[in-house]
Structure 1
Amino acid sequence: MMVTETEVKVRYQETDQMGVVYHANYLIWFEIGRTVLIEELGFRYHEMEESGILSPLVDADLQFKKPLRYGQTAKVLTWVASYDGLRVTYGYEVQTPEGETAVTGSTKHVCVRKESFKPVSIRKVFPDIHQAYMDAKGDA
């Protein structure tokens, strides 16, 4: 299984009144990690969008373990947790500077046509992306 690592420096505006990272910011960090993973697979979101295909989020799940604070550097681990040719679920682990788990989670995405929002098969429309997802999750 392919896992990418992305560092994110905690900025002041990402923290709440308690001085810890506000929960919604983890979804942004997940997106940063997901974009890095897709780029490491050799693809770009904007190229897919230019061809009329979007990949909206249809589900998100987060579990909070330890706080991260302003000035710390988090590490976002990202991988393909599941993929069936239509839907892809990305897994995430956000780590503290000490390597402890701060947050775990997943996001599920489905490719759709931009004009109709009808689902499309990644397997059929993007066979090269399909194979890259299979390889990334270890199902070559």
Structure 2
Amino acid sequence: MFISSTKIDVRYAETDQMGVVYHANYLVWCEIGRTKIIEDIGFKYAEMEKDGIMSPVVNIQLNYKFPARYGETVEVKTWVEEYTGVKVVYGYEIVNEAGKVCVTGTSEHVCVDKKSFRPISIKRKLPEWHEAYEKVKKQQLISE
């Protein structure tokens, strides 16, 4: 399975008075992971938006397992959990430097036309992206 990885230093502003990461910050870290995997497979999300296509989150699920804390470095691991040609589901695992899993989860996205916000076919409108996601999906099937 193709897994993208990026490290994040936990900043003081991301924590509560106990030094524990506030839960909403994990959503931001997932976005960082998503942007990284898109870059790792050869694309830039910003370029897609310049072409009039957006990819909103339509569903997100996070499971909080162990608190990340101020002063730690966490690793955000991201992969393509599912791809249908219209919908992409990304999987996430956020691990602290001691190797403890802090968060697991998924986010579901569809591509839409920026003006009408109507769903579009990735296969038709973004054929290079489609090929890359199909390749990543095949890597996932082979590794299972």
TM-score (norm 1): 0.97
Question: Structure 1: which amino acid aligns with 2:94?
Answer: V
Matches of residues 9-28 of structure 1 in structure 2 within 5 Å? 9-28=9-28
- Counterpart residue type for residue 127 of structure 2: P
Cα distance in structure 2, aligned partners of 1:81 and 1:125? 21
Match of 2:61 in 1: 61
- Name the CA distance, whole Å, in 1 between partners of 2:105 and 2:47: 26
Distance 1:110 1:98 in 2: 35
1:29-40 map, 5 Å: 29-40=29-40
Is the contact made by 1:2 and 1:138 (CA closer than 8 Å) also made in structure 2?
no
How high is the sequence identity, in percent, across the aligned residues? 54
| RMSD of aligned Cα (Å) | 1.1
Q: What is the CA distance between 1:17 and its match in structure 2?
A: 2.4
Q: Kindly tell me the number of residue pairs found equivalent between the two proteins.
A: 140
CA distance in 2, matches of 1:56, 1:131: 21
Specify the code of the residue in structure 1 equivalent to 2:63.
Q
Shift of 1:65: 0.6
SS in 2 for 1:138: helix
Q: Look up the match of 2:120.
A: 120
Matched residues in 2 for 1:73 and 1:19: separation?
Answer: 13
Q: Distance in 2 between matches of 1:97 and 1:36?
A: 19
Correspondence 1:80 to 2:72: no
Displacement after TM superposition at 1:18 (Å): 2.6
8 Å CA contact retained: 1:95, 1:101 = yes
Deviations 1:27-49 (A, max 9, x none): 10000011010001100011111
Q: Distance in 2 between matches of 1:17 and 1:63?
A: 22
Give the equivalent residue in structure 1 for 2:43: 43
Output the CA distance in 2 between the equivalents of 1:137 and 1:27. Answer: 24
Name 2:106's counterpart in structure 1.
106
Amino acid at match of 2:87: R
Distance 1:15 1:98 in 2: 18
Aligned-partner residue type, residue 106 of structure 2: S
1:6 corresponds to which residue? 6
Whole-angstrom CA distance in 2 between matches of 1:47 and 1:135 = 21
Contact 1:21 1:68 in 2 (8 A): yes
Output the CA distance in 1 between the equivalents of 2:28 and 2:45: 15
